[in-house]
Amino acid sequence: MTAYEIINKGFGAAGESFEDYPDKSLALIWLNITIAESRDAENLVRKKNGKQLLSDTAAGTLTEDVDMCNDICAIALPYGIAAYLAADRQDSHMAAIFRNRFITALQNRAKGDEFTIQDLYGGEI
């Protein structure tokens, strides 16, 4: 997903329009902060799948693709953006709700790719 798509989803979750937001560069900063906060979860997913770990990634422009798994880009990062937007609007209640959703989405994705469960008799479930 592009930086624009992620930020737009985050603004939409918070009930705002990114097109009407005057400070697009601030929204890009929020995205880069949430990307940095998501790096550990992304690296857990990559490690489980045998892929190269991320050392550092950031979006320089709104049209740039974010090099993270689709679940983190489509679910977690927009909630992180929504949390920063709500905090910017001085709505601490909604900021906390979106922050909790962001963290939960990261936790769910990080533990989502588990191995096959075997029953007590040696068969696969």
How does DSSP assign 18-55, residue by residue?
A: TTT-S-HHHHHHHHHHHHHHHHHHHHHHHHHTTPPPPS
Which of helix, strand or coil describes residue 7? helix
Dihedral (CA of 80, 32, 88, 18) sign: negative
Q: State the CB neighbour count (10 A cutoff) for residue 73.
A: 22
Q: Distance (Å, rounded) from C-alpha 72 to C-alpha 42?
A: 8
Inform me whether the pLDDT recorded for 65 exceeds 60: yes
- Among the residue ranges 12-21, 35-44, 85-94, 111-120, the one predicted with the least confidence is 111-120
User: Residue 99 above 90 pLDDT?
Assistant: yes
Which whole number is the average pLDDT over 76-100?
97
